[in-house]
Amino acid sequence: MWNSFWDFIWGMVVIFAFVAYLLVLFYILSDLFRDRKLSGWFKAIWIIFLIVIPYLTALVYLIARGRGMTERTIAAQQQVQQQTDDYIRNVAGKSSTEQIADAKALLDSGTITPQEFEALKAKALA
């Protein structure tokens, strides 16, 4: 298959270029489907051109829509981060301040004794 060292090097360069193109292609396709402002027809046209003239279309897409790609990616990452933070807050429960305030409300209503309040307060601060 490879007759010399330089054939091997050239083969590696071609394989690298192909894998790099596939990564760019998948990034472009994910951006196309993430963009809610672009109509379905324009998405279809971009995809057709990505199939017919792949490298040129990918280059044009990156130049023409690169800033929008960045903005959509940042917005998606911020949304995921917000969902993660909300989930962690939900699972972690209440803060110690909220636990002490709830215990104080129970003490004021007479549901618990002052000793139980102190125990809950110590537990919350621990």
Q: Average pLDDT, stretch 83-111?
A: 83
In the DSSP assignment, the letter for residue 1 is: -
Question: Please, which residues have CB within 8 angstroms of residue 73's CB and are 6 or more apart in sequence?
Answer: 31
Model confidence at 90: pLDDT above 80: no
Structural domain that includes position 60: 5-66
Residue 47 domain-assigned? yes
Sign of the dihedral defined by the CA atoms of residues 85, 87, 92, 97, in that order:
positive
- What is the number of domains present in the chain? 1
Model confidence at 1: pLDDT above 70: no
Residue 98 domain-assigned? no
Residue 42 domain-assigned? yes
Whether the model pTM is above 0.75: no
Q: Which of 14-28, 41-55, 85-99 has the lowest mean pLDDT?
A: 85-99
Residue 86 domain-assigned? no
Residue 33 domain-assigned? yes
Residue 106 domain-assigned? no
Residue 39 domain-assigned? yes
